[in-house]
Amino acid sequence: MKARRPETPDQEFDITPMIDVVFLLIVFFMVVAAQITEKVEIVVPTADKAVVPEDNSRRLEVTVVENGDAYVGMMPVSREALAARVLQDNNTVPGFRVYLRADSNTPHKHIQEIMMLCAENGVYDVIFATLQ
């Protein structure tokens, strides 16, 4: 005869590590989403014929504030660094465009500087942010 094993209580599956991992993933995605959507606050000009672009990919978003300072995302960028970034992205991203957001009170000379910077680095497709 075989010896009987003593009965053991049912073992339960511990889901605590799985909950921890899911929580960390949620926090990670919330932080990343907040950084992606953050923009420098400006008053965008209005235009009667404004159209929302269908394709938002393959573009660099540049914001110009009233005093002429430029930003990529929330990071201030010098004209030289912006020129290098535009040149690099234009050479590596097919169909690259620049999405230019400017405050409605920004003097045109600052916007023209960015447009010239783009043209000098081979980018002629500049999209202007406006509200309808």
Give the distance between the most distant pair of CA atoms in the chain. Answer: 98
Helix (H, G, I), strand (E, B) or coil at 130: coil
- The arithmetic mean of pLDDT across residues 48-61, rounded, is 78
Residues 42 and 65 sit within 8 Å (Cβ to Cβ): yes
Q: Pseudo-torsion of CA 103, 105, 106, 111, nearest 10°?
A: 70
Percentage of the chain surpassing pLDDT 90? 36
Instruction: Give the model confidence (pLDDT) of 71-119 as tens digits.
Output: 998 889 999 999 999 999 999 999 899 999 888 888 999 999 999 999 9
Instruction: Please tell me the pTM assigned to this model.
Output: 0.65
Of the ranges 5-9, 39-43, 56-60, which is most confident?
Answer: 56-60
Mean pLDDT value across the chain: 84
Q: Could you give the domains of the chain?
A: 59-128 (3.30.420.270)
